[in-house]
A and B are shown apart, each in its own frame.
Chain A
Amino acid sequence: MSTRKLNQEVFGLWVNELIARQRVVGVQAKEERFIFGSLSKAEDLRLDYDVTLLPPKKYLLPQREHLMEFTAQGEYESRIEHEPFILFGVHPYDVIAISQLDAIFSAGQYDVHYMTRRRNATIVACDVQTVSAHVFASSMNTATVQDGFDLLLTKIGDDYLADARTEKGEELLAIVSGGVEPAKEDFAKREEVWRKNRESLRKHDLKCRPEELPALLAKSYDDPIWEEKARHCFSCGSCNLVCPTCYCFDVHDDMNWDLQTGTRTRACDACLLNEFAAVAGGHNFR
C-alpha cells in the first residue's frame, strides 16, 4: 500500500476529481458548527473541524430507511441501496464507532441493508486538527486509529499525508496527480501529530482503564448516581440519536394511497424512551 504527500493545491484538485467521479460526503461548516453532508466542491471541506453535530453513522444507518416494499397480498420485496460513496474526513473515534457497528450488523445474522451500504462506502479517515472543548477520545484510546478505514489523512505543516490501507484507498490515491513520495521526516511529523493528539484529546481524564468499564458498570447497577442523573434527563432520546455507536431501531409499515402497496421502514429508536421495552399488559422491564 502506498502513501503520498499532497500540497494544498494538489489536495484540492484531488478532492474535486473524487467529487466528479462519485458521491462524496464530507465535513462542512453549518453556521458555527460542523456537519457531514454531500460535498459539491473541495473548498467546502473543513478538515479543521473539532466535532460534528451528528456522527457519520447516519450515512451507514440512516435515521429512516426503506427495508422493503410489499403488496396487500403479502408479497415482500427487499429494497437495498447500492450507491457507492466516499465518507470523507472521519475522525479516529468515529472510525472505531463504525467498526463497532460493522461488528453488530455482520456478526451472526448478516444485515444486508447495512452491510451493502458499508461495502459501498470508502472511508477516508482524518487525524484531528482542532481539539474540541469536551473531547475525551484519548481517555477511551480512540484519539488515533490504525485500521477500520481505507485511507488516512494527516495534516503535517501545510501538506497532507495520504496513507492508503486497503484496495479501495489505493484506488482513490491512484487518481492523485502531483503527489510526491513522502520523506522519512514526513512520517516522523505524523508520529508527532499522533503523539500530540493522544495527549491533548483528553479534556476529561478517565481514572480507570477503558477495558475496566464494562465490569465497573455491571458492578454499579444500583448506584444512586443513576437516579440523580435521571432527574436532569428530559427523556428525549437525543443522546441515542447523536451517539456514534447506538444502533437500536424500530420497524413500521406505511400503506400507499392505493391501499394495495406499501413500504416497510426502519427508523432509529432509543432505548432511553419509555416505550422501548414495554410489552402488552402494561408491563415494562426497565
Chain B
Amino acid sequence: MTGIANPVEIYNQLYAKSPDIETFEQAALTDASAATERTPPEDIYAPQAATLVQARPLTELETFYEIKLDSGLELGHEPGQFVEISVPGFGEAPISVSSSPTQRGTFQMVVRNVGNLTNALGKLVAGDRIGVRGPFGSEFPVHDVMKGKDILLICGGIGLVPVRSAINYVLDNREDYGHMTILYGAKTPADRIFADEQQDWSKRDRVSVLETVDDPDEGWQGHVGRITALLPLVLVVPENTIAVVCGPPVMYRFVLEELKKMGMSDDSIYLSLERRMKCGVGKCGHCQMNGVYVCQEGPVFQYSTIREVMEAI
C-alpha cells in the first residue's frame, strides 16, 4: 500500500512546489468527554409516519403526491427545503417539497421514477403509508432578500418542483414582491409538468411565464430550444432582481453565463443544487463538495458563496 500512496511523501512533493502557504485556523475538536455527557435527544434518523392523501401521474415518469403527517402536525418547511422519504423495504431518498408553506394540513411533492425507491413509490396509492424526515436544508430567501424585488425563476425539467413552492408562496403574499418571471424548459411537450398551473400563474398580477422545449412535437406552438434562449426575451433590471436557478446539473454553467451578460451580480443569483444525499443531516458524507455539506448549507446557495468551491457547478 505504501508504494501506492504514502501520504507524507505526497504532501512533501506538494509542499516542495508551494512552500509559502497560509495556515488554516483549525477548528478545535470538541472534547470527547464533554460530548459524552450530553443526554441523547431523539434519533435523527427515525422517520415519522405519514399517509398519502393523493398520488397521481403527471407524466410518464413523474408522479404527484400529497402527504399528511400522521401526527396531524404541519411539516413546517420553507420554500426550497427537502424531506427524506422512506418507503419501507426500499430505503430513503431526498425529495423536494413542492407546495408552499402557506398551504396548510398537507404537503406536496413530485417524484421522477429513476430507480429502486422512486419506482416503489410510484406503485403506492392514496391511503398507503410512508416515512418522512425533515424538513432539511436551506431555503429560497423569500423572507428577506427577495422582498420588494423582481423575481426571475429559471427552471429546467423537474427543477420546477422545488421552485413551485416559492412561486406559490410569492403568489400568496403577492404585495411583498415585484414582478415574477418564470422560465421553464422541458425536453419534450410530453415532459412538461404543472402545465395547467403555469396557465393559472400567467394570469396573475405581475407574473409572466415563458416556456420552451428541446424537441417539439407536431402540436407544439411555443418556443423551441434551450432555456438560455428565453433569457434575452425578458426585461430585467439587474439591480432590482433576484434570480433563482434550478435544473439538471448541465444547465447551470450556461444559465450563469447568460445572467452575467445581462448584468446580474453573483450575489443576487440563488442556485438549488442537486447532490447524492443519504442522511440529510450532515453525517454520511455523500453530499459533500469539499468542505461544504449540501444537505446542511444547501441545497439553495447564493452563487457568490460557492463560486470558488471546487466541484460545485
- Using a CB–CB cutoff of 8 Å, the interface residues on chain A facing chain B are 67-68, 70-78, 80, 98-100, 102-113, 115-116, 118-119, 134, 136, 139, 147-149, 166, 204-209, 211-221, 223, 225, 229, 232-233, 239, 247-255, 262, 264, 269, 271, 276-281, 283, 285-286
Contacts and interface: CB of A to CB of B under 8 A. Distances in A.
Contact of A248 (B4, B35, B285, B290): B285
A239 B10 CA distance: 15
A221 B13 contact: no
Contact of B44 (A111, A204, A218): A111
A283 B89 contact: no
A108 B296 contact: yes
A206 B46 contact: no
Contacts of B285: 247-249, 269, 271
B313 to A, nearest CB: 10
Contact of A279 (B24, B47, B276): B276
Contact of B26 (A207, A211, A262, A286): A211
B115 interface: yes
A147 B23 contact: no
A233 B288 CA distance: 22
Nearest to A209: B23
Given A206-B12, A216-B21, A110 B89 contact: no
A158 B44 CA distance: 48
Interface of B: 1-19, 21-24, 26, 29-33, 35-36, 38, 40-47, 49-50, 86, 88-92, 112, 114-115, 129-131, 248-250, 274-276, 278-279, 281-286, 288-290, 296, 310-311
A68 B46 contact: yes
Given A251-B91, A279-B275, A206 B310 contact: no
Contacts of B49: 74-76
Closest 8 CB pairs of A and B: A248-B285, A74-B129, A204-B8, A106-B35, A280-B114, A78-B43, A109-B281, A255-B89
A205 B8 contact: yes
Contacts, number: 218
A110 B41 contact: yes
Contacts of B276: 276-279, 285
B140 to A, nearest CB: 21
Contacts of A76: 46-47, 49, 86, 131
A74 B130 contact: yes
A172 to B, nearest CB: 15
Nearest to A252: B91
18 contacts: A70-B88, A77-B46, A98-B32, A103-B29, A109-B44, A109-B281, A110-B38, A110-B44, A113-B43, A148-B29, A208-B12, A211-B23, A212-B15, A223-B14, A225-B10, A229-B5, A252-B91, A281-B114
A102 B32 contact: yes
A249 to B, nearest CB: 5
B28 to A, nearest CB: 9
A215 B24 contact: yes
A192 to B, nearest CB: 26
A102 B30 contact: yes
Contacts of B296: 108
A80 B249 CA distance: 38
A74 B85 CA distance: 11
B4 A233 contact: yes
Contact of A109 (B35, B46, B282): B282
A276 B277 CA distance: 10
A99 B32 contact: yes
Given A78-B43, A205-B8, A251 B279 contact: yes
